[in-house]
Every structure is written in structure tokens, then in C-alpha cells.
Homo-oligomer: A and B are copies of this chain.
Amino acid sequence: MNLVDGVRKGDPLSVSRGISAAENGTAEGRTLLDAIAPLVGRATRVGFTGPPGVGKSTTIDALVQVIRASGDRVGVIAVDPTSPFTGGALLGDRIRMGKSTEDAGVFMRSMATRGTTGGLSRATQDAADILDASGVARVLIETVGVGQSEVEIARAADLTIVILSPESGDGIQAMKSGILEIADLVLINKADRIGADKLEQDLRGAFDLRPSRRQADIPILHSVAFQGKGIPELLNAIDLILAGRRNNGDFDQRRQSNMVKRLRNLAEYMIERDLWNGAGGKLESVAKDVLNHSKTSYQAAELLVHEALKTR
């Protein structure tokens, strides 16, 4: 079975190999992405973000169970922050999504930070395309941290859910971190703990301070994900929001604005790749030129750009 056919038929090994090929930017990956492009766009994509420790993975695991109970296939992409220095993944607990992993209707994949921010975003969206083409009904994208690049990745979905917990700090703090501004829905997980109602009040108060972004309408749900509590309600709320947006045109508009960002990022990725193919060999010598004052930094950078574009 060739790779394209394998992905189309939902063969897990083909999907896995295809995502790796796309991630590594190989010719096979590019061929696959172009071949499956007509199949892309059917699955809904939901991004999840929130501070560490609020139970994002547990929530997604529980949500996967509820989705599976409806008969739909589902793909999960976990975007892991990785030390920029060691190349090793920070968290060893990705494996805890135990219930889902033996189910053939669930495809799970971790993407690690490699190279640039733009590279991780590109790889995540390519992976979502491949999962989409493989026939899953939903792609869930979890970012482990709340760094700017991870938040951007969670936002590049049809819907973005911010998960908080009573221990994750008050609403003002979450507002300050900026993540609430991308929330289409806020889930207060571990809602059986002290402080859940206070957190909801704080969030409402914070939302009311910013009436500009129709935040008064953002649903705030409660869950106790490790017991599955509140998770069917979460799925219902997701579907309700998406159905409303399909009706009023917001759904297509968001896909359009996400695609603009994606193409911008992808074009930058391509041009940088060419830049360093063409000019990489000159870097050391022009750096010396700047340090010994025979060129200014901007003159040196211009020379690199010129070298890079000569080769196109």
C-alpha cells in the first residue's frame, strides 16, 4: 500500500509515517501533502491550551472517550515544549493517556519543538491535515505550555478552549497572561476543588472588563475530567458553538484568517530554508567581518540575503 492510499484509508502506520515525512520536510512528505489536499477540511479542529497542571491531557483523554462512544474517529496532536538546548521532551507523562491508546479509532501523536517556532506550527498543521485526510471527524490539538508559540498553535483551530483549574490562579492572572483572549470556551477543570466558583466569578469579572471582544458570551464550563464529569457537556458546547458559526459564516471566516496566517508562516519557512541553503557557507566569514569592523551588521545581513537569492 503506498503512503497516499494508506493515509486515505486511515491506516495508522501510514498516517504515522506520513506525519514524520511532513515533519521532516522530505520530498515524500510534500508529495503526500499535495496529494491529500483535496480531502482536507472535513474534520473540525479544536485547540486546547492552559497552564501546566490543570489536567489538559486528562480532559482530552476523557473527551476522546465521549467522541468514540458516538462512533467517530478522532486524532490527537500533543504539542510538547522541548528544551531548546537538550532536544529532550520536558514531560514524560504523555503516556498517561492510557485508555485511548489501544483503540484503533484514536490516533495520537506528539510533536516536539524542533528548530523554529514557525517550524513547529507548520508541522502541527501538516499533521492535522494528514489526520483530517485519514478520515477522523475531529482533530484535537493540545499545547502543553502557554508560551506565545504554543498559544498561537492552539488558536490556529476552528475553536480554542482554555483549561484552567482552581489551583491555576485567579481569573485576573489568566487574563494577564493573555490566554483568555483566545478562548472561545473556558473549562474549569478539577471543579470539585475549593475555589472553582470563585474562579468563575473572577473570569466573568475579567471578561466584563473587556466588552469589546464579545467575551460576555464565552461559555464557562466545569469538569472533573478524571471522573469524566462535565465532559459530555463540553462536547455538546463545542458542537453548539461550531453549529452556530457555520450558520452565521464565522466558521468559514475563521478558516480563512487561519489560512492567511498559515500561508504567511509557510512562505517564511520556505524562504528561510532557501536562505540558508544559499548563504549558510558565508555566515562565519561575514560574522568575522562585523567583529573586525570591516562590515556593519546590516551590511553583512544584506550580503547574506543577496547570496541566498542569487541561487534561486
Contacts and interface: CB of A to CB of B under 8 A. Distances in A.
| Chain A contact residues, majority secondary structure | helix
Contacts of A60: none
B86 A30 contact: no
A96 interface: no
A25 B148 CA distance: 23
A180 to B, nearest CB: 9
Interface stretch (A7-15, A67-75, A162-170, A296-304): A296-304
Given A291-B259, A297-B37, A301-B263, A151 B283 contact: no
B287 A260 contact: yes
Contact of A264 (B34, B259, B274, B283): B283
A288 interface: yes
Interface string A292-312: 010011111110110011001
Interface of A: 30, 33-34, 37-38, 40-41, 83-86, 90, 113, 117, 125, 129, 147-149, 151-152, 176-178, 181-182, 252, 255-256, 259-260, 262-264, 266-272, 274-276, 279, 283-284, 286-288, 290-291, 293, 296-302, 304-305, 308-309, 312
